[in-house]
Amino acid sequence: MAPPIKILSGQVKDLGGGFLVRRVLPDAALRAVGPFVFFDHFGPTQVSAQTDDVRPHPHIGLATVTYLIAGRIRHRDSLGTDAMIEPGAINWMTAGRGVVHSERWGELAQARTFELEGLQLWVALPQAAEELAPSFHHSAAGDLPELALDGIRIRVLLGRAFGASSPVPTASETVYLDVALNAGASWELSPMTAEQAIYALRPGLAINGEPLAAGQMALLDPNAASHIHATSASRLVLIGGAALDAPRHMWWNFVSSRKDRIAQAAAAWQADAMGQVPGETERMPLPEFKPVA
């Protein structure tokens, strides 16, 4: 069996106020895995009333996928959604032609400090869906199917795997799994999609005999099975899907198959013409706009 094609370690980014995330996608060596064009792992970290939240900001051309391992986040958007994100649930927000949202945790920590850890991924919408009306879909933890293999627990967050289907309505072929492995467990993973990768949330994993450290992502061979072994109790997520139908341009919070569309969105946000989040008075300023590569 071939080893992983690529291993990515990502970069640690400060989103403000010392709130750190590990950003694995996009990477200079790998722009996307299937439709996934952005992969952030935040925490585990302690948040308090003084921890900076994510103020209202815009998106186009993508869907955000938020999944918590610990803690709580309050999501509000320009559609009027006001939803609490809790561990094990999936929140899928289709930005389409444009949406504005905020993510707050500091206000939830007024009484006590709590641990926050989770993943936020962006899925590029197919070209035909880039300008869809925005929408929001919440699936509670109990709505997502869970499977048990020998020493392995699999939650199907998006798409279909091993005969189980997630209730989240995706726009293209997409797979997203949360997998916990007992110490000593092994998993022969056949290719499920045209492109797929594994991200190690916890240490103790080896892929085809090659160690995969916590915080690293391995792009798997699409033509051969991969042997996954846990030397200690571990946890990973698998992402994948069909390859993008065209190259995508990314700048700030915008994704599009058209450079000019990103410039239009930047101008609209600068002009305060992309909508408001009810109950919010702050907004994230537009960075200095630079031509999109």
Inter-residue contact 36 to 239 (CB < 8 Å): yes
Q: What are the helix (H) ranges across the chain?
A: 259-270
51 token code pair: 């921890």
Domain ranges of the chain: 6-241
Other C-beta atoms within 10 Å of 21: how many? 20
Q: What residues contact 177, with CB distance under 8 A and at least 6 apart? A: 154, 155, 156, 157, 161, 237, 238
Q: Give the residue from 56, 43, 1, 11 showing the smallest Cα distance to 269.
A: 56
Q: Please indicate whether residue 194 or residue 114 has the higher confidence score (pLDDT).
A: 194
Would the CA dihedral through 199, 202, 208, 211 be positive or negative?
positive
How confident is the prediction for the chain on average, in pLDDT?
92
Average pLDDT over residues 196-215: 96
> Which residue bears the tokens 């400090």?
113
Residue 157 reports pLDDT greater than 80:
yes
Tell me how far CA of residue 241 lies from CA of 18, 106, 286, in angstroms: 33, 35, 32
Q: How far is it, in rounded angstroms, from Cα 89 to Cα 72?
A: 11
Decide if pLDDT at 49 tops 80. Answer: no
**Residues 75-111 pLDDT 10s:** 999 999 999 999 999 999 999 999 999 998 866 666 6
Q: How confident is the model at residue 19 (pLDDT cuts 50, 70, 90)?
A: confident
Please name which of 88, 58, 54 lies closest in space to residue 71, comparing C-alpha atoms.
88
Q: Please tell me the pTM assigned to this model.
A: 0.95
How many whole angstroms separate alpha carbon 63 and alpha carbon 75?
14
Higher pLDDT, 6 or 201: 201
What one-letter code names the amino acid at 280?
A: E
Is 83 in contact with 92 (CB distance < 8 Å)?
no
| pLDDT value, residue 293 | 59
Provide the CATH topology of domain 6-241.
Jelly Rolls (2.60.120)
Q: What percent of the chain has pLDDT over 90?
A: 83
Q: What is the mean pLDDT of residues 66-74?
A: 95
Phi, psi dihedrals of residue 142, rounded to the nearest 5°: -75, -10
**CA 195 vs CA 84, 204, 218, 235, 240: distances in Å:** 32, 24, 11, 20, 5
CA distance readout (Å), 282 to 8, 100, 129, 174: 35, 12, 29, 34
